[in-house]
Structure 1
Amino acid sequence: MKARVTIMLKDGVLDPQGEAIRHALGGLGHDGVNSVRQGKLIELDLTSTDVEAARAEVAKMCEGLLANTVIEKYSIEIA
């Protein structure tokens, strides 16, 4: 079973990397970009066959290590 975790900064948290990307895109002639938020995508290959158990385990991973829940939010997809 595969899990995909998307981690993004919470709304209201400054994103200097996103701003640097936006600025670089403008320098390359892509002037129509108002803002950029960048994040992380983590793919996990799990041994679990129970979708809800896998989701709970991945949520514990996010809370304990993968995401800084003070400034980041995460979403989990199980396939």
Structure 2
Amino acid sequence: MKVRVTVMPKAGVLDPQGKAIGHALDSLGFGGVGEVRAGKVIELELAETDPNAAKAAAEDMARRLLANSVIESYRVEIAP
């Protein structure tokens, strides 16, 4: 079963990569872009067949390794 973990900086946490992307978009003529936040998406292929168990396992992985809970939040979903 495929699971997707999306990790993003928490609100209020400085995001230099997002700022750089926003600045680059502005310099390319995309002036209507507001705040930009950059994160990461991690797709996991799990042997688990139960969607609830797969999601719980991925949440545990995110909490313990994939996201820094001090500065990042994460969302786990079953991928199509």
> 1:51 and 1:2 mapped to 2: Cα distance?
9
Q: Calculate the aligned-residue CA RMSD, in Å.
A: 0.8
* Counterpart amino acid of residue 77 in structure 1: E
TM-score if structure 2 supplies the norm length?
0.94
Q: Write the mapping of 1:40-55 to structure 2, written as runs, cut at 5 A.
A: 40-55=40-55
Unpaired stretches in structure 2, ≥5 consecutive residues = none
Calculate percent identity across the aligned residue pairs.
Answer: 61
Q: CA deviation at 1:35?
A: 1.1
CA distance in 1, matches of 2:40, 2:34: 21
- Greater than 3 Å deviation, 4+ residue runs: none
SS of the residue corresponding to residue 19 of structure 2 reads helix
Q: Map residues 1-79 of structure 1 onto 2, 5 A cutoff.
A: 1-79=1-79
TM-score, length-scaled by structure 1: 0.95
**Mapped partners of 1:5, 1:62: distance in 2:** 7
2:60 match: secondary structure: helix
Instruction: For 2:52 and 2:8, locate their aligned partners in 1 and report how far apart those are by CA, in whole Å.
Output: 23
What is the deviation of 1:62? 0.5
One-letter identity of the residue aligned with 2:9: L
Alignment coverage as a number of residue pairs: 79
